[in-house]
Structure 1
């Protein structure tokens, strides 16, 4: 029995247009990435003289060896890893606790508090009031300023709340009958069956922390506490050769080949996210779709 679906002319035209558009979209994303990778392994890296290329003209790993000898890069890497790991774990826990409370039908004034949370998605205090608030809390030049303000995100909280509402209430009721506390229900029953949405939110938070730089530039004064993205921003936009050389960079390499060093630094910062994403991307689509269903 033939169960294949026959496509009419309109479906064929749509598929051709769809595949063509998506292929071009992928190329616009992949080509800059491939060029950046090729340039990071190139010895010259002069786009004005050679044009765009997708393979190193003179292959070398000296650019990455130069980065490996720079102490500022590794300090920034360590600060970024600490911020990303600690910030992501704490934010997932705090957001899940808030979402669990709002998902309970017996929670007093649940609708009001949900609307109150949603309100913060559209309105904020602004940069200056936030800075004054951070200053009054004595968090200026403190590493906690890169973590505490991001413990709860309204959008993430709503997504997790909607996911929790899809979980059968009988699981919680049976646990309460057995004497389980709310913390036990959340951490031993709800969270283990919520891996898709938790993995999705954790990915968003991790990428956000890893790429964040403006808050560090605004609140952190000690260069030893700078995250990697701030150091990268200074290297790319300001061309701080002094920072690179004082951090232990191979003498003269930045001055003679600044573009390849910048390309290597950019790819160096992207590498952890590229390594982690394939292992959790299977949860990504499922978590978004289920979490976006209104309960």
Structure 2
């Protein structure tokens, strides 16, 4: 009887998981096949499993815009630089907060926690960035995101689980705090580092609001802001006089938008599977052990 119950449980469980996967994956697949379909043919409807008339015209229209490559460069730079600097800075603060002999540790902690729930609003934030000359600067993407209170809590929970004897032995051997942090705590924190790095990378890659509010320079436009404008301007682009007539006949507003969405989605879809195991392990260790 127990075996039958387990079998029925597995059947129901796998069925529900399969339905959930289908619901999750099919919208992405639907956009993918639409982006590879001829535009006018797509407007007829009825495309659910495969492109009816295969075409690369939608991607050629999106890729011929020079703003795409500028946005790709800015997004890659801000993702790499922003992720590395944020991980380093937040981990250093978290290490300090995990030390019991830190003077003022309690007030510092509650001050950080206060900023997690309350902020001054967009206008004061804009004025602060203006006064420190970050408006229309690449560093407006990097410096405001150097430190995250939530990520500090995750790091702090993990650091406190590292045996104190390791720190004491390193101190006896003459190692300073920075040497202990860099040579001992960082190598032991790879799962948490990978988890927080993934969060930061996704944030920087998908971010467009800060560029839309704090920059007016087209050379600082990240990929996501370009694609958002591409989606909004799809009807204008499809009727542009600079597009060859043979290409214009094989595109539509909807298929151009789908091609733009796929270009912005594919990089994250390619990176996430390689970091998924660190994501699960790091989140569980960094949060539940505290």
Report the TM-score when normalising by structure 1: 0.89
Aligned match of 2:2 in 3, 6, 10?
6
Partner of 1:290: 285
CA offset digits 1:21-51 (Å, max 9, x no partner): 4333222210110011111211226655213
Using the alignment, how far apart are the partners of 1:45 and 1:187 within structure 2?
A: 58
Partner of 1:126: 121
Shift of 1:62: 3.2
Q: CA RMSD in A?
A: 2.5
Using the alignment, how far apart are the partners of 2:235 and 2:137 within structure 1?
A: 24
Q: Rate the CA distance shift 1:179–1:133 in 2: closer, same or farther, 3 A.
A: same
Partner of 2:99: 104
Q: Structure 2 regions of 5+ residues with no counterpart?
A: none
Partner of 2:228: 233
**Structural mapping, 1:130-209, within 5 Å:** 130-209=125-204
Partner of 1:28: 23
Q: Rate the CA distance shift 1:198–1:175 in 2: closer, same or farther, 3 A.
A: same
Where 1:166 maps in the other structure, the secondary structure is coil
CA offset digits 1:258-293 (Å, max 9, x no partner): 322221121111122122112221211110001112
Using the alignment, how far apart are the partners of 1:35 and 1:162 within structure 2?
A: 41
Q: Rate the CA distance shift 1:46–1:243 in 2: closer, same or farther, 3 A.
A: closer
Shift of 1:164: 0.7
Using the alignment, how far apart are the partners of 1:229 and 1:139 within structure 2?
A: 20
> Are the counterparts in 1 of residues 68 and 226 from structure 2 also a CA contact under 8 Å?
yes
Partner of 1:213: 208
> Are the counterparts in 1 of residues 235 and 253 from structure 2 also a CA contact under 8 Å?
no
Partner of 1:79: 74
Report the TM-score when normalising by structure 2: 0.90
Q: Rate the CA distance shift 1:45–1:176 in 2: closer, same or farther, 3 A.
A: farther
> Are the counterparts in 2 of residues 162 and 294 from structure 1 also a CA contact under 8 Å?
yes
Shift of 1:196: 0.3
